[in-house]
Structure 1
């Protein structure tokens, strides 16, 4: 149901106290006025600076009230048989006063027998406990593509503004601004115009970059402009095949075919095997915005602040959808204990519920290193489409990883003995292989800036102590988790077959009874 329809239903049902959560006061008031004009309701707004003001056509003198208590008294005195909506701006600042809170509660109860309603605009969802039974929280949605098209149209019709947008460019420009408020979008479009004196298809990237900065201000979400492709990730053949099969999953063709949007995947495994890089690669492969959800940034010091940040971040992700939501090292953020009065438990519950119930096409990529810290309800079916385990790379994968990092540094792979290198780094993860190449480059650079060689990389491997040795017990515990069949291997098929052979060998070696 659209907001306009929802508001009309609430008013006709005589809901007496509505709390509208929005930072877009101007657009919200315009929308409310349109609803009241269409349905023949009177509408007045009140704030501490200007008192009562008519929002719809004036029907006599507006009541006089300069303080919140007097404003409530004037609402109570208004004609009970006239349909009217009273908008109280920033009134959440006043309801911390016990006298005003009591007065609001009493009036709200009496208005049930009238045609009057009160609507409070606020930027947060916190409501005093005494008012929770009488108040109804209503979210004012961010502007749709059609709304942003209207913002762009108003701006481009301004005299002196030069526009050279193709129809496709205009559509992409509006899509790039989805997730912004109307005021933010107007500022971004205006900046694009004054930057080079004209609004054209080249400004799409500028709008995207500005959007990146604005989303970062939400504290818990960070916008990534991804450029990684599957060629930038060595190995993980099974995972790449799974992703390519779903590359068109968010298209209208998929919806018409009857396919649901994929929910997400969990990437579990050994540190340094490319879990974070894979999350970035998915955004690039599917050409979707990548939003990193920083769980640690969700927690605030004020009562209810953490839950509000969580709600706002998830709502923003849905507005930007279709998108990829990346939750990195989720075991650290979701380790919910009992030392914070249940705040982390409530945040964790909100995220779990959203992952299960969301209808917006937000594909969740959750990464974790420590399986033991993950609650069992997180990994059950329904939260994720698949759980992938990223293991130590096979020799073929190590060869591919070496090639990726050599090409990234503008070196020809033919100049190196990849067979010898891939054999020498058995037990090394991708991050350790990359670091060995960097160490070899330092050797060559400090030796007269000569080209580094296969020998330099082999020497670098010898000086490293890989995780598979320094953290042998932890790595073995993680690999046992895969052998027990709790996840699907993300590597080439041969890895899975090798693990199956390993299990069979272990079974054959067990003592016979």
Structure 2
């Protein structure tokens, strides 16, 4: 909270007349503003005065204020009060005022007039709003600040306060309380308090079992944001067959988010792009990174960002990125990033603005968020999307090689409690040439369905082989598209995720250069 507090103090000392504070946490915003007002100048006469359409003007110090039932009257009365008491350092807060400045031109004009008159006083005006959509006419008169979600120290303080107030038995040591507060990162202060309170009343004790319970609460809240989903990824390197070069790259960076790496001078990794054929493990890789690095995983569904109302898509994206930064350090999985351009210019430029905002944020973010962007159709992405600075590396996931297919077969058989040693893995690997990992998994599942219906009995090599014979792989059904994607790798535009493929790509690149 230090960041937003310092910014508010700075702008108030600079006598900026109007500040637009973007937040969904009205009560917390008022607490912060009141603290800033009191700390700004402890010896000055000042007050926090709020206005809303239901209760009009209210003084937090108990002063009698004139009635102001409408936004027009509120602005007029504030102008009168500030001119009458020029030496006071009052802080006026207008709540839900965005509802009026878009619909009523006279309100917008009065607000501009008030902003001009406040320059000659010591008082300031703050508008709290959930939307950063400020009318263009006000752009020169206001400063827009985005209030971040509560950080770990703030949540830890709220948790300790709640424990003292309720007198609940707390069996969590100091580091356990930190973990419980960490579980609430990404929630508003009110949402976090509800999650902590629910944990307290469940069994009147705070212990280790309450940490996953708070995480479940967070999953539900984040899912309600419509574009984000929280994953408790448990996949490991052993759950992903092949992709040895990619795994080695990730293992080298496993400790890069810690303080030791920062002291060494290493920046936190920015992210990677995973391009390639559908079903080759791009989504599974994102989950594996989260499990390997022991970081929370957030999935951004770009398609779910788009809404029908003006500004709705941009607002959803802004909220999603704010939650992501609050949860950091974390992994942000942007699934099928090319979907952000699905509008094709026919949606009034919304898709272009959303895509541009994502790219700008990826370039300029300072929070430790590792971005994993997946794409099936690289031709739909502008060339600047994959440049360095946004991603540390671009990996291409090709059709699995023979050794990778053997590994994938073993992984999926073990996952279904079958011993790979009981199967002719080499034969199945030959039969699955041209199949991607998802298709190999489906062949095993198909064989299990048939074996279950026939008895049930256990599956055999012949069952899986018969499944391969029935399935038509993507490499045949969409042969031209797959060849186009593989040609993109052979041109040297990305790093192969597999050692064998990397050697082949390097040889092809040399041949191209010699030709």
User: What range is the shorter-chain TM-score in?
Assistant: over 0.9
* CA deviations over 1:288-319 (Å, ceiling 9, x no partner): 11001111121222222222221121121111
Are positions 1:337 and 2:344 aligned together?
A: yes
User: Given the alignment, which residue of 35, 45, 50 partners 2:50?
Assistant: 45
Aligned in 2, Cα 1:251/1:506: closer, same or farther, shift over 3 Å? closer
Are positions 1:87 and 2:88 aligned together?
A: no
- In structure 1, the residue matched to 2:438 is 431
Instruction: Give the Cα separation in 2 of the matches to 1:155 and 1:507.
Output: 67
TM-score, normalising length: structure 1: 0.95
- In structure 2, the residue matched to 1:8 is 9
User: Given the alignment, which residue of 280, 305, 308 partners 2:312?
Assistant: 305
Q: Secondary structure at the match of 1:86?
A: strand
* CA deviations over 1:374-429 (Å, ceiling 9, x no partner): 11010111110000010111111000000000001100111101111111111111
**Offset of residue 286 of structure 1:** 0.6
Instruction: Give the Cα separation in 1 of the matches to 2:223 and 2:463.
Output: 42
Correspondence list, 1:308-387, <5 A: 308-335=315-342, 337-387=344-394
Q: Secondary structure at the match of 1:451?
A: coil
* CA deviations over 1:346-384 (Å, ceiling 9, x no partner): 111111100101010110001111111111010111110
Instruction: Give the Cα separation in 2 of the matches to 1:387 and 1:503.
Output: 17
CA contact (8 A) 1:50 1:66 kept: yes
Correspondence list, 1:28-107, <5 A: 28-38=29-39, 39=41, 40=44, 41-55=46-60, 57-58=61-62, 60-78=63-81, 79-95=85-101, 96-107=103-114
CA contact (8 A) 1:335 1:374 kept: no
CA contact (8 A) 1:46 1:88 kept: yes
Aligned in 2, Cα 1:81/1:143: closer, same or farther, shift over 3 Å? same
Instruction: Give the Cα separation in 1 of the matches to 2:268 and 2:254.
Output: 11
* More off after superposition, 112-121 vs 354-363: 112-121
Q: Secondary structure at the match of 2:339?
A: helix
CA contact (8 A) 1:143 1:180 kept: yes
User: Given the alignment, which residue of 126, 131, 138 partners 2:145?
Assistant: 138
Aligned in 2, Cα 1:82/1:283: closer, same or farther, shift over 3 Å? same
* More off after superposition, 358-367 vs 188-197: 188-197
Q: Which runs of 5+ in 2 are unaligned?
A: none
Aligned in 2, Cα 1:111/1:503: closer, same or farther, shift over 3 Å? closer
CA contact (8 A) 1:36 1:43 kept: yes
- In structure 1, the residue matched to 2:423 is 416
CA RMSD of aligned residues (A): 1.7
Are positions 1:394 and 2:409 aligned together?
A: no
Instruction: Give the Cα separation in 2 of the matches to 1:391 and 1:182.
Output: 45
Instruction: Give the Cα separation in 1 of the matches to 2:396 and 2:492.
Output: 10
Q: Secondary structure at the match of 1:341?
A: coil
CA contact (8 A) 1:46 1:71 kept: yes
Instruction: Give the Cα separation in 1 of the matches to 2:38 and 2:235.
Output: 51
Aligned in 2, Cα 1:359/1:505: closer, same or farther, shift over 3 Å? closer
Q: Report the number of matched residues.
A: 506
User: Given the alignment, which residue of 296, 301, 308 partners 1:294?
Assistant: 301
Q: Which runs of 5+ in 1 are unaligned?
A: none
Instruction: Give the Cα separation in 2 of the matches to 1:254 and 1:267.
Output: 25
Instruction: Give the Cα separation in 1 of the matches to 2:444 and 2:56.
Output: 69
**Offset of residue 502 of structure 1:** 5.5
* CA deviations over 1:409-451 (Å, ceiling 9, x no partner): 1001111011111111111111111111111112211221111
Q: Secondary structure at the match of 1:2?
A: helix
Q: Secondary structure at the match of 2:126?
A: strand
User: Given the alignment, which residue of 281, 291, 295 partners 1:284?
Assistant: 291
- In structure 2, the residue matched to 1:200 is 207
Instruction: Give the Cα separation in 1 of the matches to 2:199 and 2:222.
Output: 18
Instruction: Give the Cα separation in 1 of the matches to 2:496 and 2:156.
Output: 45
* More off after superposition, 75-84 vs 199-208: 75-84
* More off after superposition, 431-440 vs 61-70: 61-70
Instruction: Give the Cα separation in 2 of the matches to 1:507 and 1:99.
Output: 68
* CA deviations over 1:101-136 (Å, ceiling 9, x no partner): 221111111221222221111111112222222121
- In structure 2, the residue matched to 1:263 is 270
- In structure 1, the residue matched to 2:500 is 494
CA contact (8 A) 2:149 2:322 kept: no
Are positions 1:475 and 2:482 aligned together?
A: yes
**Offset of residue 503 of structure 1:** 6.2
Instruction: Give the Cα separation in 1 of the matches to 2:352 and 2:508.
Output: 39
Instruction: Give the Cα separation in 1 of the matches to 2:237 and 2:360.
Output: 31
* More off after superposition, 216-225 vs 497-506: 497-506
* More off after superposition, 371-380 vs 99-108: 99-108
Q: Secondary structure at the match of 2:165?
A: coil
Aligned in 2, Cα 1:507/1:8: closer, same or farther, shift over 3 Å? closer
Instruction: Give the Cα separation in 2 of the matches to 1:196 and 1:116.
Output: 49
Instruction: Give the Cα separation in 2 of the matches to 1:355 and 1:507.
Output: 33
Instruction: Give the Cα separation in 1 of the matches to 2:167 and 2:10.
Output: 43
Instruction: Give the Cα separation in 2 of the matches to 1:185 and 1:234.
Output: 39
